[in-house]
């Protein structure tokens, strides 16, 4: 979902809690991992997009942010898939 401040890759619900998911996919590299793409700037944009989402929703509900890291080979096959879980930002 796109907002002026950024985009949210996945919005899901678990019980009464919303789960905002940021997905980062990269080719394996000795110099960078998908986790490296989750910097303070990206998280600030994600937080701002979440605020805009709640503004459109017209209310706030409990939520968490999860990060999914995916590494794919040159043929596009998944080599690593990891859910980092609640990153604790609110």
Tell me: the pLDDT tens digits for 26-78? Answer: 888 878 888 888 888 888 999 999 999 999 999 999 999 999 999 999 898 99
Supply the pTM of this predicted model.
0.84
Q: 6 or 64, which is more confident?
A: 64
**pLDDT for position 88:** 61
Q: How far is CA 58 from CA 15, 51, 53, 71, in A?
A: 19, 11, 9, 37
Residue 11's CATH number: 3.40.1350.10
What's the domain range around 47? 2-86
The residue-averaged pLDDT of 12-37 equals: 89
Cα separation, 11 vs 82, in Å, equals 18
Domain tally, the chain? 1
A 10 A CB-CB count for 17 gives 12
Cα separation, 63 vs 51, in Å, equals 11
pLDDT band at 84 (very low <50, low <70, confident <90, very high): confident
């Amino acid at each position: 979902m796109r907002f002026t401040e950024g985009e949210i890759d996945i919005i899901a619900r678990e019980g009464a809690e919303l789960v905002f998911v940021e997905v980062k996919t990269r080719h394996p590299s000795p110099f960078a991992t998908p986790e490296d793409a989750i910097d303070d700037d990206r998280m600030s944009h994600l937080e701002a997009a979440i605020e805009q989402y709640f503004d459109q929703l017209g209310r706030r509900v409990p939520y968490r942010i999860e990060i999914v890291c995916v590494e794919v080979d040159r043929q596009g096959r998944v080599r690593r898939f990891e859910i980092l879980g609640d990153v604790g930002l609110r």
